[in-house]
Amino acid sequence: MTNVVLIMTDQQRADSLGCTGNPIARTPNVDVLAERGAVFTNHYTPHQICSPSRATLFSGLLARNHGLTRNGVALSEEIPLISHELKAAGYRTHGVGKFHFQPILAGAEHKMPDSNAFWELPESAGWNGPFYGFDTVDILIGESVSATEGGHYANWLRKTAPEAAELFLPENALAPVPEDCDEIWKSAVPEELHYNSWIADQACDFIAAADTSNPFFLLVSFPDPHHPFSPPAPWCDMYDPADMPAPDAQVNELALMPSYISESDGADGSKSYVDFLRDPGPPREQGFMQTTHSLSDASLRQAMAHTYGMVSMIDSRVGQILKVLDDRGLTEDTLIIFTSDHGELLGDHNLIRKGPAPYRQLLNIPLIMAGPNVTQGQRPQFTSHVDLKATLLEYLGLAGEAGDGTSFANLLPDELHETQDHLIAEYHARTRPETYNQTLITGKWRLTLYANNPSWGELFDRSADPGEHFNLYHNPEFGPIRDELARQLLDLFPPAPDAGGPSIATY
């Protein structure tokens, strides 16, 4: 049987790799993977926020059906995930890194291993699973500063280098932090102690010790390039900010968009991101989307350079994992998948981070698959995270619950097959109900409706305006197209703004 290694990142957009056409990104290891596999250039997540997207990938269900509609909700342990299906088929299942199936700030009474509070409980001693279908896990919680508080990585760091957690903090950065953005700094933590290194080391140890008489499923989940923009050396200096491309933005383009987008100016007196991690206070809308108007050009370029640095650091760790697979002679018997949960705006549309707005930069994410019976080449067809479970089950010849998705396994050996002609996406709000939105994407159009605020809407001609800069929703000339697409969307996907389980924590 075929082994499966699923490598995930967090907040990485599709166009961030050399193999997807980025002229600046240095990603030689992922590029090598792409050279012998399938590169899905129109792969999307239905949800632009971490936990809902991850739960959809693993369950094959849309967020309204698996219940984890927003960060701060826990995924039911009764829902069959990819990991459950493979375990039932005889696979040894192991996961390393960030899961985010449960709220990081869930109280100790919930006894959730994906929360910091669990790791203060006596039952955390020696615990390493089972967890959501994984026989064993090495858990990391959060990213950057917050990754040092709970989970196996935090415990390892305290034991290995007790003072190292302080080196993640911006006040200990290798260079001054920009005054206009406290999320951009050069982390002082040594590369060998950084969580990306730890994740790759744990993954390699698992592969090196794997019993090859049985197949395995290994999840390797990196928390980066998620903000804050704080890679360690040498990756924080790998890219010159002066070499960064200008963001893809048009003057005054946000004036045609729903008003909440341009109101996200970061000047409302809210806490900084790092302070929010330490003491969240009242809930905020998800994603920390912010206009770039208050950022200097230098700071934005530094954020971009650091993002590229984080991507390259992860690429180097992917190379480490690929080498161990080669050394053990497992490459030819292993399906390797590289993807992310959602993207990052990174200055495009004069916005940064992520949020309710379903721009392509947030929904279009990398997907590379290489392994037995996968032919090399690009796949421009529409595919979605909701389809991955069904695809894996068919590819591996296993029974199981496919969920809401449709398998695209026929695209792996033959790039000429057709898939669906549309995609759907949905955002469930945390604090501002009117930002709930639903999206229909076709080859030519992207339509977004706001059920709780019908005066808002988005319509983009993807052929004439692939950057999604000119909102045509209120343009009378395009009224008939808008109305027909709206009818299709509402027939396919009726509004469900109140779907999902209870929020048990801020995030």
The answer to whether 108 touches 118, Cβ cutoff 8 Å, is yes
Rounded distance between C-alpha atoms, residue 235 and residue 228, angstroms: 14
The answer to whether 79 touches 61, Cβ cutoff 8 Å, is yes
CA distances from 130 to 34, 177, 255 (A): 32, 41, 50
| Domain annotation for the chain: domains and CATH numbers | 3-492 (3.40.720.10)
Residue with tokens 């991955």: 388
**Which residues partner with 474 through β-bridges?**
none
Q: How big is the CA angle at 142 (ends 106 and 139), to the nearest 5 degrees? A: 85
What 3 state SS string does 457-499 have? EEEEECCCCCCCCCCCCCCHHHHHHHHHHHHHHHHHCCCCCCC
**SS3 for 84?**
helix
Dihedral class, residue 425 (left if φ above 0, else alpha if ψ from -120 to 50, else beta): beta
**What's the pLDDT at 44?**
98
Rounded distance between C-alpha atoms, residue 435 and residue 432, angstroms: 6
Query: What type of residue is 119?
Result: W
**What's the pLDDT at 266?**
54
**What's the pLDDT at 267?**
43
**What's the pLDDT at 444?**
98
Q: Give every CB contact of residue 17 below 8 A, 6+ residues apart in sequence.
A: 25, 27, 30, 31, 34, 311, 366
**SS3 for 56?**
helix
Q: Which residues of the chain have pLDDT under 70?
A: 265-273, 278
**What's the pLDDT at 396?**
98
H helix or E strand, kind and range, residue 313: helix 297-327
**What's the pLDDT at 137?**
98
**What's the pLDDT at 273?**
67
Candidates 501, 492, 217; CA nearest to 335 is: 217
Q: Give every CB contact of residue 85 below 8 A, 6+ residues apart in sequence.
A: 133, 389, 393, 398, 400, 401
Residue 149 token pair: 């508080």
End-to-end CA distance of the chain: 38
**What's the pLDDT at 268?**
45
**What's the pLDDT at 284?**
80
Neighbours of 163 (CB within 10 A): 8
The answer to whether 328 touches 208, Cβ cutoff 8 Å, is yes
Each residue's pLDDT tens digit, 291-305: 999 999 999 999 999
**What's the pLDDT at 265?**
65
**What's the pLDDT at 281?**
74
Candidates 29, 25, 3; CA nearest to 12 is: 25
Q: Give every CB contact of residue 506 below 8 A, 6+ residues apart in sequence.
A: 72, 103, 105, 280, 283, 284
Neighbours of 476 (CB within 10 A): 8
DSSP class per residue in 329-390: T-GGGEEEEEEES----TTGGGEESB-S---HHHHB--EEEESTT---EEEEEEEEGGGHHH
